[in-house]
Amino acid sequence: MDPKRKRGQNKEPIPVPIEIANNIAEVADEPETDDSSDESSSEGSGGEDDEANGKLSAEEVLELDVTTDTSPGPLVVRQVDIIIEQSVRVTQIPAPPPAEPTAWEPFNFPTESSGTSSASSFVPDEGPNFSNAHGVPKNIPPDCTQPIHFFSLLFTDAILERFVAATNRYGAGKRIDFHPTSVAELKKLFAIVLIMGLVKQPQTRSYWFKKAGLGTKLYRHDLVASAMSRNRFEELFSYLHFRDVVTLTAEERERLRSEDALYLVSEFTDMLCENYSRYFECGDYIDIDEMCIRFKGRHSFRFFIPSKPARYHFRAYCLSDQSGYLYCFYLYRGTRDHEQTIYSASAFSVAKLTDSDVFRNKNHLLFVDNYFMSLEVVQICQSRGIHCIGTCKLKRK
């Protein structure tokens, strides 16, 4: 409040209820003198009207500004404050006492025998107990101690020799001066690809920077540059083949493409998946999910999903152990996969990946996301002795 403002200037009147105004009017009617003067004044003013005696009505009290100098004396102001305070005190309603918390009781699941049973008495279905809750390797040779030995278990010499034969034949048909490759050189090629997956660079040629400067210090990878030249890497990578397509005629290619659009790599993925499952035994918990394989070329099965890290990709459905080991997988080939079966698109992946005696009646716990989760998937798992846990959408049919 400004101390220079005079009392009673530019102030709004205080709103007062009509009941309080009637009490204020009665108080304002009383004079401020002693008892003797009150009796004498009351006898002489018995027949006069309210305006002659200065009596205030309730409407006038409502318009009264008790903060101005024209208001009644300090005694009347103090009595008005007392009346307002008492009225507000009476109108306040005490808050109800807080309710006492109820004791928690466990939910009882109904049964056919006793009607109800405690939740803690639930017993899972009988089945074999896992000797190892986590997945463990199996069929590992005793001399397998180095990383290259484990790589050779998955990418066997038979697979690499198929790559070498098909690549040399395809490269010789494209270029006259093509230098044939070998298994040892092909291992270097795969090693460089693995390094590129771990050490990201802006572009492929960044690993072979030669000019001295900031780019060489930031991007050049000496191990990659010393293993193979950049031109040789690009040449082998562009001519790499697993299926020998040079000896195929145009009619044979069209027939294979109509049967399987991924016929160039289908044999390779089948052999690789067989090796993955040969040297590992899944534990109690398994998972099925999709995997995106980056691909920017032209193909009818290429997907484009902007929200994925690899927007252009092939889709593969994988079954993995809780340790992250990829046990088996298959490449998605569109609606042709499940059109000839009784399963839906999402249920076909679960039915195909779990169709093995390794998972039947062993009480595995399968975890899936809302794409796979459905009543059909639960029924498939139940028929094979697999427990299924997953998220689901409320609006899914």
Domain assignment present for 339? yes
pLDDT of residue 218: 72
Q: Is residue 395 part of a domain?
A: no
For 304, the 3-state DSSP assignment is strand
Instruction: Give yes or no: residues 287 and 363 share one domain.
Output: yes
Residues in contact with 226: Cβ distance below 8 Å, sequence separation at least 6, in sequence order: none
DSSP result, 331-346: E--TTHHHHTSSS-HH
Per-residue pLDDT at 318: 95
Specify whether 171 is located in the same domain as 231. yes
Q: For the residues 223-228, what does the mean pLDDT come to?
A: 91
Residues 304 and 229 in one domain: no
Q: Based on the fold, state whether residues 295 and 385 are members of the same structural domain.
A: yes
C-beta of residue 354 within 8 angstroms of C-beta of residue 379: no
- Whether 47 maps to a domain, the answer reads yes
**Least confidently predicted of 120-134, 239-253, 319-333:** 120-134
Averaged confidence pLDDT in the chain: 76
Among 123-132, 190-199, 266-275, the least confident range: 123-132
Task: Band the pLDDT of 346: cuts 50, 70, 90.
Answer: confident
Q: Are residues 302 and 381 in the same domain?
A: yes
Average pLDDT over residues 24-37: 51
Alpha helices in 303-374 (DSSP H): 336-339, 345-353
246 domain-assigned: no
Domain that holds residue 301: 282-390
CA distances 5 to 64, 69, 73, Å, are 20, 14, 21
Q: Mean pLDDT, to the nearest integer, of 294-320?
A: 88
- Final residue belonging to a domain, choices 45, 67, 90: 90
Residue 292 clears pLDDT 80, i.e. is over it: yes
Q: Establish if 103 belongs to a structural domain.
A: no
Give the residue-averaged pLDDT of 129-137: 69
Q: For position 317, what pLDDT does the model report?
A: 93
Between CA 339 and CA 359 the distance in angstroms is 25
Q: Which residues touch 53 (CB under 8 Å, ≥6 apart)?
A: 29, 45
Q: In total, how many domains does the chain have?
A: 3
Mind spelling out the 3-state secondary structure of 65-101? CCCCCCCCCHHHHHHHHHHHHHHHHHHCCCCCCCCCC
pTM: 0.63
In this structure, the answer to whether residues 230 and 316 fall within a common structural domain is: no
Q: What percent of the chain stands above pLDDT 90?
A: 34
| Alpha-carbon gap, residue 333 to 341, rounded angstroms | 14
Residue 165 lies in a domain: yes
Is a pLDDT exceeding 50 seen at residue 139? yes
Same domain? 229 vs 288: no
Q: What are the phi and psi torsion angles at 350 (to 5°)?
A: -65, -40
CATH number of the domain enclosing 301: 3.30.420
- Choice between 330 and 70, residue whose per-residue pLDDT is larger: 330
Tell whether 296 and 368 lie within a shared domain. yes
Same domain for 287 and 231, yes or no, is: no
80/148: higher pLDDT: 148
Report helix, strand or coil for 118: strand
In this model, does residue 184 exceed pLDDT 90?
A: yes
Please determine, for residue 63, whether its predicted confidence score (pLDDT) is greater than 70.
no
**157 and 66 in a common domain:** no
Q: For tokens 């990878």, name the residue.
A: 221
Residue 293 lies in a domain: yes
With bands split at pLDDT 50, 70 and 90, how would you rate the model's confidence at 68? Answer: very low
Last residue of a domain, one of 239, 269, 290: 239
Using a 10 angstrom Cβ sphere, with 0-12 exposed, 13-18 middle and 19 or more buried, the burial of residue 307 is exposed
Q: Domain check: are 287 and 235 in the same one? A: no
251 part of a folded domain:
no
- The domain boundary, picked from 205, 239, 273, lies at 239
Task: Give Cα separations from 347 to 6, 218, 375 (angstroms).
Answer: 85, 47, 9
- The pLDDT tens digits for 74-115 are 555 555 565 555 554 544 556 666 656 555 444 343 444 444
Rounded Cα distance between 114 and 121, Å, is 13
Same domain, 156 and 75: no
DSSP annotation string for 172-204: HHH-TTPPP--HHHHHHHHHHHHHHHHS--SSG
**What is the token pair recorded at 283?**
């534990």
Q: Over range 102-130, report the average pLDDT.
A: 44
| Arithmetic mean of pLDDT, 62-84 | 51
